[in-house]
Chains A and B, each alone.
Chain A
Amino acid sequence: MIFGEETERSRLQWRSRSWLFYAVGAALLVLGLAARTPVPLFLALPFLLAPPGAALLGPRQAGAALDWGVYGSEEEVTIRGRVVPSEPALRPHELRLRLDRPPGLLVRAPPRFEYAEGSLNFEFFWEAHEPLITQVAVPEVLWIDPLGLVERSIRPVAEGLSIERYPPEIGRIGRVRLMRTIVLAGETRSRARGSSGEFFGLRIALPSDPPRQINWSATARSGRTWVNEFHLERTGDILLVLDLRPTGLGPEVDERIVGVARAAALGIAGAFLREKARVGVATYGEFLTAVPLGAGRAQRFRIRRVLMDSHVATIAGPSERCAIAMRRYFPAGVTTILLASLADEEAARLVPYLRRRGFPTVVLSPSPITAAFDPPGWSEEDLALVHRLLRLARHERIARVWKDAPVVDWEEYWSLAGFQAMLRAGLGSRRRS
Chain B
Amino acid sequence: MTTKPNAQPRTLRLEGPGLLAAGAAIAVGLGIWDPHGALAGIVIAIVGFAAAGALRAFVGRSVRPYEFLPAVASLGYLTLVVPTSIVTDLLAGTSALGLFVWLVDDPELPRGSLRRSGDALLLPALGLAVALSSSLLIQPGYVYVGVAAGLLVAGLLAVAWLLLHPESFDAPDTPTI
Interface residues of A (CB under 8 A from B): 10-20, 22, 24-29, 31-33, 35-58, 60-61, 71-73, 76, 78, 80, 91, 93-94, 108-110, 112-113, 115, 123, 125, 145-150
**Whole-angstrom distance between the alpha carbons of A273 and B97 in the complex?**
66
**Interface contact A40-B79, CB-CB below 8 Å:** yes
B119 to A: closest C-beta gap in Å: 4
Interface residues of B (CB under 8 A from A): 1-3, 5-6, 8, 64-66, 69, 72, 75-76, 79-80, 82, 84, 88-90, 92-93, 95-97, 100, 103-104, 106, 109-110, 112-113, 116-117, 119-125, 127-128, 131-132, 135, 142, 145, 148-149, 152-153, 155-156, 159-160, 162-163, 166-167, 169-171
**A residues near B69, Cβ cutoff 8 Å:** 20, 24
**A residues near B162, Cβ cutoff 8 Å:** 51-52, 55
**Interface contact A39-B106, CB-CB below 8 Å:** no
In the complex with contacts A50-B120, A51-B159, A57-B122, A41-B149 CB distance below 8 A = yes
Highest count of chain B CB atoms <10 Å: which of A25, A72, A73, A146: A146
**Interface contact B152-A44, CB-CB below 8 Å:** yes
**B residues near A45, Cβ cutoff 8 Å:** 93, 96, 124, 127-128, 131, 152
**Interface contact A112-B171, CB-CB below 8 Å:** no
Total inter-chain residue pairs, C-beta < 8 Å? 197
**A residues near B148, Cβ cutoff 8 Å:** 38, 41
Partner of B142 from the list A29, A36, A39 (CB cut-off 8 Å) is: A36
**Whole-angstrom distance between the alpha carbons of A49 and B121 in the complex?**
9
**Whole-angstrom distance between the alpha carbons of A52 and B120 in the complex?**
9
**Whole-angstrom distance between the alpha carbons of A343 and B97 in the complex?**
64
**Interface contact B127-A46, CB-CB below 8 Å:** yes
**Interface contact B145-A146, CB-CB below 8 Å:** no
Partner of B84 from the list A39, A43, A51, A148 (CB cut-off 8 Å) is: A39
In the complex with contacts A42-B92, A43-B93, A72-B2 CB distance below 8 A = yes
**Whole-angstrom distance between the alpha carbons of A39 and B35 in the complex?**
14
**Interface contact A53-B170, CB-CB below 8 Å:** no
**Interface contact A24-B72, CB-CB below 8 Å:** yes
A29 to B: closest C-beta gap in Å: 6
**Interface contact B93-A60, CB-CB below 8 Å:** no
20 contacts between A and B (CB under 8 A): A11-B166, A13-B166, A16-B65, A19-B163, A20-B65, A24-B76, A37-B84, A38-B145, A40-B80, A42-B90, A42-B131, A42-B135, A46-B125, A52-B123, A54-B119, A54-B120, A58-B119, A60-B170, A78-B3, A147-B103
**A residues near B127, Cβ cutoff 8 Å:** 45-46, 49
**B residues near A37, Cβ cutoff 8 Å:** 79-80, 84
17 further interface pairs, Cβ-Cβ under 8 Å (given A58-B119, A123-B3):
A12-B170, A26-B156, A29-B156, A32-B79, A39-B84, A40-B92, A41-B131, A41-B152, A45-B152, A46-B93, A46-B125, A47-B96, A53-B122, A53-B124, A71-B2, A91-B116, A146-B116
